[in-house]
C-alpha cells in the first residue's frame, strides 16, 4: 500500500474518533450540569392527611386564612304567601229575604259610605212583615188608651174591677204581639230607614269601602239566602298571609321582622308578624301567619302571590363565607390550619345560607383558622 493510500485511510478514521470524543465530552458535561442543578420544590406537599405549603410555594400568596368566631345568627326562611283582605273590613251582603232586585244604587268599583243604600228589593215577605208590625202597633195603641180609660173610671168608682183587669190583659197581649211583629220585621231587614215607599226593602252598607263583587243585575230574582248579592270591602288595610310548616313553629313570634317579595313589584316590602295562628290546618298541616300592611295607595290587591322571608330567633353560632366551603362529592369541606401553612380537610355540617355566608352546625369550633379564599387549590 502506498503512502498516499495510507493517508487517505487513516485521516477519516481520526476525524471520526475526534468527533465521537467531542460528543462524549459534551454528554458528560451536560450530565454533570444536570446533576449539579437541584430539582424545583413542589407547591404542595402531602404528609398523611396534612397539606403543607413549602416556604417558596406560590400558594402562600393566593390563600387567605381567617379565624372563625361565635356570633349572633338569625337564619332566614322563606314561606309562600298571598295578599288577603282584612276579614274585619270585608262584608258579603246577603239579602235578608227572597225578592226581585228593582234598583242597584252601587255598581262594581263604586265607593260606598256606611249607611248608604246598596240596592232596593221588592220582597213580598218584607211587605207582609211591615204590615203586621203596623197592625200590631195600632192594636197596642188602642189597648193602651182603653187601659188608661179604665184606670180613670176605676179611680172614680164608676167601672167594675173586672173591666180594668180585662183592659190590663188586652194591653199586655197587644204589647206582646207588637214586640213579636217588630222582631220579625227587624229580622226581615226592616231596621230604621230600611223601608222605602211602597213597602220595598232598601239594603244598606254596614261599612265604608268599595264594591268589590256584584252578582246580580236589576230585575233579577234572588232567592238564595246563603249567596252574597254584593261584597263591600275596605282595602285601606290588608294582610299578607303566609303558611308556615310545623318545623317552623319554634321560630315564629309576633313582632318578627319580615321581607315580602311580590311578583308585581321589584322592591320588597318590609313588615312584621302581627298574628300567628293558634291551630294548624288539618289538611295542609300548616299554620297561618298574618302580616298587616297599610294599603291606602291600593298597590296590594287581594289574591296576589308573594314570598315572605322571615328571620329565625337569634342564637349563637358560627358563620363562614361561602368561598370557604369546598364541595367534594356530596360532602362539604373546609381547610383548617392546624400549624402555620399546614392544613387539614374538615367535613362540615351546614345550616341556612345568610346572604354570601353560611352557618356551620358542626365541624368547626370558634378560634380555628380556615382558608376563606382559593381553598379549591388545595382540593386535589
Sequence-separated (6 or more) residues with CB below 8 Å from residue 157:
none
C-alpha to C-alpha distance for 210 and 111, rounded to whole angstroms: 4
pLDDT at 157: 74
Which fold does the domain 95-123+189-227 belong to in CATH?
OB fold (Dihydrolipoamide Acetyltransferase, E2P) (2.40.50)
Please give the C-alpha separations between residue 34 and each of 21, 39, 42, 295, 359, in angstroms, as whole numbers.
20, 9, 18, 83, 53
CATH label, 78-88+234-311, candidates 3.40.50.720, 3.30.590.10, 2.40.30.170, 2.30.30.60:
2.40.30.170
Backbone angles phi, psi at 124, to 5 degrees: -55, -40
Cell of 28: 458528560
Cα dihedral 176, 182, 185, 187 in deg (nearest 10): -80
Q: How far is CA 217 from the centre of its chain?
A: 38
Q: Which residues contact 156 (CB under 8 A, 6 or more apart)?
A: none
Q: What are the domain boundaries of the chain?
A: 50-73+315-378, 78-88+234-311, 95-123+189-227, 126-187
Instruction: Please tell me the distance from the alpha carbon of residue 188 to that of residue 197, in angstroms, as a whole number.
Output: 16
* Pick among 2.60.120.20, 2.40.420.20, 2.40.50.140, 3.40.50.1110: CATH of 50-73+315-378: 2.40.420.20
Q: What cell numbers appear for 207 in the block? A: 261599612
Q: What is the C-alpha to C-alpha distance for residues 202 and 168, in angstroms, rounded to an integer?
A: 37
Low-confidence ranges of the chain (pLDDT < 50): 1-3, 5-7, 9-11, 13-15, 21, 24-25, 27-28, 30, 32-35, 192
pLDDT at residue 27, as a whole number: 46
- What's the confidence (pLDDT) of residue 30? 46
Residue corresponding to grid cell 358563620: 319
> Which H helix or E strand runs over 27?
helix 3-36
With 0.95 as the threshold, say if the pTM is over it. Answer: no
The DSSP-derived string for 302-328 is TT-EEEEEEEPPPEEEEEEEGGG-EEE
Top CATH class, 126-187: mainly alpha
Task: Give residue 25's pLDDT.
Answer: 46
Which residue in the block uniquely carries the three cell numbers 258579603? 92
pLDDT given for residue 31 in this prediction: 52
pLDDT attached to residue 37: 53
Residue 181's pLDDT is: 80
C-alpha to C-alpha distance for 91 and 206, rounded to whole angstroms: 8
What is the reported pLDDT for 182? Answer: 81
Inter-residue long-range contacts of 257-260, CB under 8 Å, 24+ positions, other chains counted: 257/310, 257/311, 258/291, 258/308, 258/309, 258/310, 258/311, 259/308, 259/309, 260/81, 260/291, 260/293, 260/306, 260/307, 260/308, 260/309
* Cβ neighbours of 190 (radius 10 Å): 23
Which pLDDT does position 300 carry in this prediction?
95
pLDDT tens-digit series, residues 37-89: 555 678 788 888 888 888 888 888 888 999 999 998 888 889 999 999 999 99
Cα–Cα distance, 347 to 319 (Å, whole number): 15
Q: Residue 261: beta bridge partners?
A: 307
Amino acid at each position: 500500500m502506498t503512502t498516499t493510500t495510507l493517508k487517505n485511510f487513516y485521516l477519516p478514521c481520526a476525524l471520526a474518533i475526534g468527533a465521537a470524543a467531542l460528543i462524549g465530552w459534551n454528554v458528560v458535561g451536560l450530565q454533570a450540569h444536570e446533576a449539579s442543578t437541584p430539582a424545583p420544590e413542589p407547591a404542595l406537599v402531602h404528609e398523611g392527611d396534612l397539606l403543607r405549603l413549602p416556604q417558596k410555594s406560590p400558594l402562600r400568596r393566593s390563600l387567605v386564612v381567617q379565624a372563625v368566631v361565635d356570633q349572633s345568627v338569625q337564619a332566614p326562611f322563606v314561606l309562600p304567601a298571598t295578599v288577603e283582605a282584612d276579614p274585619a273590613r270585608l262584608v258579603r251582603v246577603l239579602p235578608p229575604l227572597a225578592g226581585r232586585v228593582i234598583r242597584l244604587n252601587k255598581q262594581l268599583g263604586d265607593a260606598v259610605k256606611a249607611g248608604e243604600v246598596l240596592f232596593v228589593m221588592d220582597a213580598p215577605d218584607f211587605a207582609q212583615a211591615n204590615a203586621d208590625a203596623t197592625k200590631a202597633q195600632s192594636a197596642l195603641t188602642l189597648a193602651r188608651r182603653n187601659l188608661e180609660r179604665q184606670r180613670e173610671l176605676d179611680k172614680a168608682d164608676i167601672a167594675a174591677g173586672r173591666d180594668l183587669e180585662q183592659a190590663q190583659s188586652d194591653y199586655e197581649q197587644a204589647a206582646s204581639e207588637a214586640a213579636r211583629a217588630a222582631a220579625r220585621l227587624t229580622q226581615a231587614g226592616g231596621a230604621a230607614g230600611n223601608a222605602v215607599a211602597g213597602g220595598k226593602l232598601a239594603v244598606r252598607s254596614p261599612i265604608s269601602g268599595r264594591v268589590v263583587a256584584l252578582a246580580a243585575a236589576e230585575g233579577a230574582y234572588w232567592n238564595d239566602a246563603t249567596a252574597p248579592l254584593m261584597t263591600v270591602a275596605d282595602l285601606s288595610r290588608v294582610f299578607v298571609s303566609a303558611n308556615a310548616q310545623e318545623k317552623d313553629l319554634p321560630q315564629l313570634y309576633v313582632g318578627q321582622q319580615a321581607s315580602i317579595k311580590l311578583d308585581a313589584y321589584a322592591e320588597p316590602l318590609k313588615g312584621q308578624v302581627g298574628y300567628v295562628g293558634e291551630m294548624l290546618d288539618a289538611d295542609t298541616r300548616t299554620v297561618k301567619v298574618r302580616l298587616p300592611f297599610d294599603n291606602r295607595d291600593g298597590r296590594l290587591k287581594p289574591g296576589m302571590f308573594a314570598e315572605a322571608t322571615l328571620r329565625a330567633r337569634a342564637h349563637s353560632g358560627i358563620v363562614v363565607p361561602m368561598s370557604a366551603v369546598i364541595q367534594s362529592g356530596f360532602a362539604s369541606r373546609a381547610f383548617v390550619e392546624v400549624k402555620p401553612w399546614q392544613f387539614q380537610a374538615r367535613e362540615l355540617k351546614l345550616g341556612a345560607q345568610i346572604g354570601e355566608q353560611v352557618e356551620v352546625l358542626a365541624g368547626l369550633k370558634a378560634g380555628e383558622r380556615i382558608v376563606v379564599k382559593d381553598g379549591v387549590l388545595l382540593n386535589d
